[in-house]
Structure 1
Amino acid sequence: MDLAELTALLTPEGLRLLDELPPIESADDVARTVSRLRAAGHSPDLVSAVVGQSRLRVRAQAKFGGFAERMLFTRAGLEQATRLSIAGRHAARFRDAGITTVADLGCGIGGDALGLAALGLRVLAVDADDVTAAIAAYNLAPFGDDVSVRCARAEDVDLAGVDAVWLDPARRTAGHGETSRTRPEDWSPSLEWVFDLAARHPAGVKLGPALDRALIPDDVEAQWVSADGSTIELVLWSGALARDGVRRSALVVRGDAAAELTAEGDAEDEPVRPLGAFVHEPDGAVIRARLIGDVARSLKAGMLDDHIAYLTSDAALTSPFVASFRVREELPADTKRLGKALRDRGIGRLEIKKRGVDIDPAVLRKSLALRGAGSATLIMTRIGKRRVALLADRV
């Protein structure tokens, strides 16, 4: 969305037209709606804006639920926004630490600020892009005087009267549509500036989950977060927002449920052991936080291989930090023999998991020529130098 489109949209006519549109979910819906609105005499800028917003609202349901129906977005802003359920959990940490006023530096479309304001915190939301800041102001307007939005560089904001900061440095190229990732030295504000600020103020810093761990300061709590099976972010907490004795954390959220594993540092792995009755796949947040060993000990499990994040055990135990599978048998790893073995067992529906082997699950599934009414999970991995195929069932 450019400034002309936003200007056309932020009028009584534009907003009323947007709210009257049915959900736009497909390219055909877009074409039909554009033709109808242009024929009705609406300007090209307004048509582009309302059609684009209607489609983004449909996509935003996954992150914002019913709130998406009254929000505005840019495509890049929606992609980079924190899910509202996760933003609420972050906001609770500020509230529980006794924080009352937060500066959200790099607020984007306002996803994190929504979570903060919803818990009664006062928020100064700041973004350097004028279109994005205007959209954030619209999205945060229901909170009235408890939220102020400013278009400015994070580095230029006066933090007098602010108790803590939330920082989400721009890690992609500028723009409202397609963007690409940049290197830490090119982020805005720079990682050096962010860490310096976090050393002087209680802070939460949202970063990508694959951040080089060597860049993480020693005196912060590093919390990796996964949502519904995807590792979505790393948050570094400093000052009063960091918990005593916690330097590594894995927060695993599935639907409305959440579980967290915390430790003073990286956990020591358990030794490799022979394949048992169960295989466990640690959640990505657990792997990133290097807490696999703690999970293994809770499951009475060992590593399947020194270099691959699969656990194995004989005990019928599971946890919210792993996906667990009961092993039926080991099958030949050769594609031709594997396909025959699966057909002989009547397996027609197959979930394929893989680690440590160079395969494309979609290509493998097609090559297996599956037939039958049965279903199972196939775990393709490596034990030492040996490639293995394990037929299993989810627990």
Structure 2
Amino acid sequence: MLASKRILLIIGAGIAAYKSLDLIRRLKERGASVTPVLTGAAEEFVTPLSVSALAGEKVYRDLFDLTDEAEMGHIQLSRSADLIVVAPATADMMGKMAAGLANDLASTLLMATDTPVLCAPAMNVRMWDHPSTQRNLKQLQADGIRFVGPNEGDMACGEYGPGRMSEPLEIVAAVEAQLGNGPLKGKRILVTSGPTHEPIDPVRYIANRSSGAQGTAVARALSALGADVVFVTGPADVSPPEGVQVIRVETAQQMSDAVDAALPIDAGVFAAAVADWRMATASDKKLKKSRDGLPLLEFAENPDILKRVSRLDAGRPTLVVGFAAETDNVLEHATAKRARKGCDWIVANDVSPATGIMGGSENAVTLISDEGAEEWPRMDKDAVAQRLAQKIADALTS
């Protein structure tokens, strides 16, 4: 899929730079040519010799290389590629990009280009969560920069959380999606997936049986059609798809905040099984048995993400798709939900225990829209996702 594609790879400074070596190899395996650019600090983590040997190309390092600059080499570099990949994209690099700074070769290339850019962030969890980084992320997304990752996990600094650079094969999948000619190329689509966990106390929570399999399949199918997918997932049983921006959350409020941060989008697919209620006040200590009887649990209503996005006055997505998991009177309840929420489509399914659908590998859905109710046969969740993704593509490109 990447045969004859030209990738300009900017390697930022950070321990994750070692993954760039494998990334080069993976891209070249798929037929791409890779022109590497090293920042000065990146040379503390990987050597120009190792990068050049794997890429089979000269490594560019200095903005003031007179041989190249005699013909404005940095302009040529930035515009001759099919895609610019920044991996790792450090907090510093993201800050420069968001602010429009150009004080070294890498940042100048990124300022001088009209080529699509894909960033794979990598940094300490505190740096990723810092308000300035999140502001920069939102600005870069608004500027049309695509992102893959970061992932959540253990870090070299000993901390745990979001900030790990995506694995090389995940970045390759994102590159393939970006350079593909699918019908959703250039469209930014949000997908929510999985359950939410609403804490009762530090060890107990309210949840449901959603595995996240259907939402994950939808995100993967949309990405395969060329969409830039933002995947907001609760604590699901299945791993998120490769090649999409993954945002992990626990609670409904966190999911709501993540959705707000991802706007604007062309379409939203709200497949998550969001808890309707949470504890009005979660205990900060484990609740104990008492001779006074059962504890009194007071509930509060969670934010209605689907309804809020569907009824946005400004910046409403072109297409909003909700899901309705019902156990009885499926069509009646799902049709009423569509009217109540204000979304364009509802994907309804029967999740009563006898169906085996909740947490299973298959689904049987009915798509409800202005055109009526379209019943689909029972099929595996990947097939459902592919059919839904194609209908979304048709709706957004017609």
Return the TM-score normalized by structure 1. 0.35
Greater length-normalized contact order (CA 8 Å, ≥ 6 residues apart): 2
Of structures 1 and 2, the larger Rg is shown by 1
Return the TM-score normalized by structure 2. 0.35
